[in-house]
Amino acid sequence: MTVPAKIEMIDDSSCKEIKKNTQNINKPKENKNKIYYKDKAVVLTYHHISQNPFTLITIKSERFEKDVKMLIKEGFNVVSIEQLINAMQGKDVLPPNAVVITFDDGLESFYKYAFPVLKKYSVPALMSIITSRTENYKSFKEDIRPLNSVEIKEMYESGLVDIASHTHSSHDFIYINSKLKKGGKLAFKIYDIETKKIETDEEYIKRVTEDLNTSKEIIYKYIGKYPDILCFPFGHYGKRSIDAAKSCGFKYFITTQYGCNTYNSKSIIINRIRAGDNNLTSEKLKDNIIKCAKTVKKD
């Protein structure tokens, strides 16, 4: 049983006319000399770009441009998440050496440093945003500031950037049992340390569907379209969270599960590899993409 979430309706009258321009996306080329793999795509995970990398998942802007240049030079075809999903459902084809670029966490550094590169080389990307943070972007320090609605709308309208939900305010860790083990707030039932009780199924469903519906409405307000892709925080997910998300209209799920994604697999789960780690190089990333595509693993 799902409990319909009560959500605050947001005035969307200003965003009805938004049209996505898909003309900017580079048309895939078949480079016969460099076919590493066919009928599959490797999805790359990036997070943050800063001139002062301070975490493992923060890279300098030069690295991101180097990665994109490498992808083009080495014969990879960067496709949109939409094309990948359609291909996974058997409704579209994939060019050889297909790659999808994804960024998690909705940081403004994506607009500042990655979006100019995407425009320069006409390559698409997916950005998964945490809507409680984009709504309160001003309260964050400059280097970790989230995107704002104007930036999100501009990028979406360019036709190069798709927007997915990374939850409204469930991008956190919570206690999940009496041993005070921690887990992702979206995937697990909360253990209350004061009452020593774990959330009931009904409480879990109510909390999670409210969170995801809020996120959906905010993204609709930004881009005039409801997202159908949910990116699971920390890659934590299970049947419980997938069922709750499906009841809110989400159809496809981005994880941190290692592996590639195959044409006509009919899978709704999208596997990825790490790309935005600052101990990687563009050369190593190339090897990792090919290695992943050649790894035989069930979707």
Q: Enumerate binding residues for Zn ion (CB under 5 A).
A: 104-105, 233
Least separation in angstroms between residue 233's CB and Zn ion is 5
Q: Compute the least distance from the CB of residue 132 to Zn ion, in Å.
A: 13
Nearer to Zn ion, 105 or 135 (CB): 105
Least Å from the CB of residue 22 to Zn ion: 26
Where is 44: in which H helix or E strand? strand 40-46
Q: How far is the CB of 74 from Zn ion (least distance, A)?
A: 28
CB 154 within 8 Å of CB 116 = no
Nearer to Zn ion, 43 or 87 (CB): 43
Contact 239, 19 (CB under 8 A): no
Q: Which is nearer to Zn ion, 119 or 182 (CB)?
A: 182
Nearest to 184 by CA among 203, 167, 165, 202: 167
> How near is the Cβ of 192 to Zn ion at its closest, in Å?
24
The tokens for 259 are 């592996």
- Closest to Zn ion by CB, 82 vs 105, is 105
Q: Is 171 exposed, middle or buried (0-12, 13-18, 19+ CB in 10 A)?
A: buried
Shorter beta-carbon distance to Zn ion: residue 105 or 277 = 105
Minimum CB–partner distance for residue 130 and Zn ion (Å): 7
Least distance to Zn ion from the beta carbon of 171, Å?
6
Q: By C-beta, is 95 or 233 nearer to Zn ion?
A: 233
Q: Which is nearer to Zn ion, 104 or 217 (CB)?
A: 104
Q: Of all residues in this chain, which one has the CB nearest to Zn ion in the complex?
A: 104
DSSP 16: T
Nearest approach in angstroms of CB 105 to Zn ion is 5
Q: How far apart are CA 93 and CA 86, in angstroms?
A: 8
Q: Are 49 and 106 in contact (CB under 8 A)?
A: no
The 3-state DSSP class for residue 228 equals: coil
* SS3 of 162-190: EEEECCCCCCCEEECCCCCCEEECCCCCC
Between residues 25 and 186, which has the closer beta carbon with respect to Zn ion?
186
End-to-end Cα, the chain, rounded Å = 28
Return the number of other C-beta atoms located less than 10 Å from residue 9's C-beta: 7
Please, where are the H alpha helices in 89-127?
Answer: 108-109, 115-121
Task: DSSP letter for 122, please.
Answer: T
